[in-house]
Amino acid sequence: MIHLSPIMFAGTGSDVGKSVIAAAFCRIFKQDGYTPAPFKAQNMALNSYATPEGLEIGRAQAVQAEAAGVPCHTDMNPLLLKPTTDTICQVVLNGKSIGNQHAFDYFTSNNKANLRKEVCAAFDRLDARFNPIVLEGAGSISEINLREVDLVNMPMAAHAGASVILVADIDRGGVFASVYGSIMLLTEDERKLVKGILINKFRGDIRLFESGIKMIEDLCNIPVVGVVPYFHDIYIEEEDSVMLHSKNRFSKEGKVNVAVVLLQHMSNFTDFNPLEQDERIHLFYTNQPKELANADIIIVPGTKSTLTDLQILRSDGMVRAIIQAKNNGKTILGICGGYQMLGTVLSDPNGIESDIQQLPGLNLLPLRTTLEGEKITKQVEFTFYKGKTDCIGYEIHNGRTEVLASNIKPLNILKNGSEDGCIKGNCLGTYIHGILDNAEFVDYLIQPYLINKSDGTSFDYFKFKEEQYDKLAAHVRKHVNMDLVYSMIMP
């Protein structure tokens, strides 16, 4: 097999679709017989994932690895920044937290040389194992004020010897200015690395943009490799949670209505993607107490700032509404930070997440949680309460939780024999992210609320995701000149 040069998908800005395009090419190269792997030197996200080795990376690179058909690894995302406030991030290097840092200090410190060495070493290790490496940039490639401290865009492309494809979002408008401006703000050496332009999220008749393609090529002297239409029928996990508040806001008759409590510092929101695709379920996100009354099941999700979000829920009246829903017979499920909130008390004596040292929980489960010690990150296999088949998921949390009552049953039994979570009546809690990916658990959760109790049609989320990666690859293949792309990365 020919060893292809690396390819990078960089952007004219944030949210132009780089992550999804990179995932598409990971699947395309896999389909074409290569052994691709994703790489993003530095990612900023609350959505993370545990590798098979029990280390932490950005969820987007785990999705791209899944599209490539390979296990995820920290070398695919050696540097992860997890915001705890608007100005402070937890820094995760090679899968392990190295502490919190103020954004100003992070971007102006003298530590950049060491971090650059780390991310380049991670790329080199990955490049020795896979073919080709599909790199993703971050934000805009032309943030000239950050050029000297940039670890993820053009300096990374130069180290990798990657052919850069500039991705632009035509749906937001201003595509000519964003493409031309991005190219012109690069240095001469950086411009030489940009081999193609990809116009993303096009709506309408693509023939009407043919003259626009020529104008961009004439302006930039760089070929347009494709114009990829906006799609509505392909579902790939999103990296950003900013649109969750507008999704499926109200309940629906004839469905099992599941409300996810919309937390200010919500993390791992992809836990709920399987429910969003299950035809038996109507999923909505809310931070309005009155809307919880319309839910059959209420899920309190994970968060990067558990005590802060708990304080907000109490002040907004959400705690009272959740407790009332539980008393009315509705099912309450807490996952990770949400599980901790359902307990009696939460403590953060060392200020790991915030300045709040202790708060009472919702007192729906007999638990005491203390945020301390090294972060737990691991993939797990388990069977759940009343379950018979093996399930899979992962844990990412700081808290150590003690169950205060001896008569409370664990929700899950891990493969190594240890226990996770607990169940008390209609209230359940677990540390396991991805528990809702498992059809048997979802069937158990929604069974009491099915209008037709004989409706046992389980939703296979793992099969669904594979189908979506193939659909995405076919969509991008159709609208991108793959011969031109391959010519850019052939030796």
Active-site positions read: 336, 433
Of 163, 169, 336, nearest in space to 261 by CA: 336
Name the CA dihedral angle for 299, 300, 301, 303, rounded to a multiple of 10 degrees: 170
Amino acid in the structure at residue 99: G
Straight-line distance from the first to the last Cα atom of the chain, in angstroms, rounded to the nearest whole number: 12
**Cβ proximity of 400 and 369 under 8 Å:** yes
| Rounded distance between C-alpha atoms, residue 186 and residue 208, angstroms | 29
Strand pairing class (367-384; 412-414): antiparallel
What is the distance between the alpha carbons of residues 445 and 430, in angstroms, rounded to a whole number? 13
Beta-carbon contacts of residue 117 (< 8 Å; ≥ 6 apart): none
* CA nearest to 160, candidates 194, 208, 113, 127: 127
Q: Please, what is the Cα angle at 457 between 456 and 463, to 5 degrees? A: 140
Question: Quick one: which H or E segment has residue 102?
Answer: strand 96-102
Torsion angle of C-alpha atoms 165, 171, 172, 175, degrees rounded to 10:
50
Whole-number Å distance between alpha carbons of 155 and 147: 9
Q: What is the DSSP string of 236-266?
A: ---S--TTGGGSS-S--TTSEEEEEE--TTB
Helices in 150-272 by DSSP H: which ranges?
Answer: 154-160, 175-184, 188-193, 210-220
Distance CA 409, CA 428 (A): 10
C-alpha distances in angstroms, 92 versus 58, 119, 149?
10, 12, 17
Q: Identify the CA nearest to 346 among candidates 332, 362, 334.
A: 362
CB-CB contact of 9 with 154 (8 Å): no
Q: Which two tokens stand for residue 131?
A: 């073919």
Residue 398's closest CA among 451, 439, 464, 353? Answer: 353
Residues 6 or more apart from 220 whose CB is under 8 A from it? 179, 180, 183, 197
Q: Write out the two tokens for 159.
A: 């180290």
